[in-house]
Amino acid sequence: MEKLTKQQSDKIKRINVKLIERFDIPYRAEIPPSPLDMLIATILSQNTNDKNSYQAYIKLREAFPDWRKILDTPREEIEDIIRIAGLGKQKSAAIKNLISFINENYDEMSLDFVKDFDDRRLLDTLTALPGIGLKTASCVLLFALERDVCPVDTHVHRTLNRLGLVKTSSPDKTFLAINGNFPQGIAHSLHTNLIRLGRAICKPQNPACGVCPLLRMCKYENKVTSNKSEYSENGFMLLDNVRQ
């Protein structure tokens, strides 16, 4: 992972302050979920909104208080339970594969043994699991293990490129460009508030630069300052609401 320059680090801190002024300090779960619970929640969250993936997670947890039971459950049955999250076939297969892999390769149905690993080893271990990419693994580091790591989804990637902090061609490249020495104590608020910014203001098309709190520090050449139509959303974030 690349190290941020002092200039980049200072800019990240300024962005964080501006976003907190605009969106507030985001809610964070007092008791973080286990790494395995977080992985399953993150699989459910792909390509859907947080409310639907939350409902799917609650239903799945109710059906399987012990994840081991998934081993004996037909994939179709899991697909049915998580239907509300969409992509049921792929997500049920991914969850079943993950649980089978852990069952075959580790002594217990848990990933708690990774808790003491350093960030690099954690990412290597988690991305070696079937179907787990850098984004999902980094969500475990931030949300379950409270590391100073900022996951990068499409919103974080787009906004950081427009702001001129990085010049990268994919979310994974952005992740590697900023996480070598991410500033301490701000990864959760920055990650969450950049997603809010990306959903509500810095939209893929026609960004509402006219109401953006980062307008003065933004390097995007195609700003739309005439657009002041901010999309309002309730700010509910699945990964801060995963419970065991």
174 touching ligand SF4, by CB under 6 A: no
Q: Count the site residues for ligand SF4 by CB under 6 A.
A: 13
Q: What is the spatial distance between Cα 237 and Cα 49, in angstroms, rounded to a whole number?
A: 9
Note whether 160 binds ligand SF4 by CB under 6 A.
no
Q: Answer yes or no whether residue 209 interacts with ligand SF4 by CB under 6 A.
A: yes
Q: Using DSSP, how many helices (H) and how many strands (E) does the chain show?
A: 10, 0
Verify binding: residue 202, ligand SF4, rule CB under 6 A.
yes
Contact between 223 and ligand SF4 (CB under 6 A)?
Answer: yes
Please choose, from the candidates 18, 2, 3, the residue with its C-alpha nearest in 3D space to the C-alpha of residue 217.
18
Tokens standing for residue 155: 């919103």
Q: Which two tokens stand for residue 99?
A: 């649980």
- 7 neighbors 109 (Cβ within 8 angstroms): no
* Residue of 15, 160, 190, 201 that binds ligand SF4 (CB under 6 A): 201
**Distance between CA 174 and CA 170 in Å, rounded?**
6
What is the secondary structure of 173-189 as a DSSP string?
Answer: HHHHHH-SSPPTT-HHH
- Indicate which single residue of 18, 162, 188, 191 sits in contact with ligand SF4 (rule: CB under 6 A): 162
Q: Does 207 bind ligand SF4 (CB under 6 A)?
A: yes
Q: For residues 18-77, which are near ligand SF4 according to CB under 6 A? A: none
Query: Quick one: tokens of 46?
Result: 């792909």
Name the one range near ligand SF4 by CB under 6 A: 73-81, 113-121, 158-166, 236-244: 158-166
Residue 92 interacting with ligand SF4 (CB under 6 A): no
Q: Does 157 bind ligand SF4 (CB under 6 A)?
A: no
- List residues near ligand SF4 by CB under 6 A: 159, 162-163, 201-202, 207, 209, 212, 214-215, 218, 220, 223
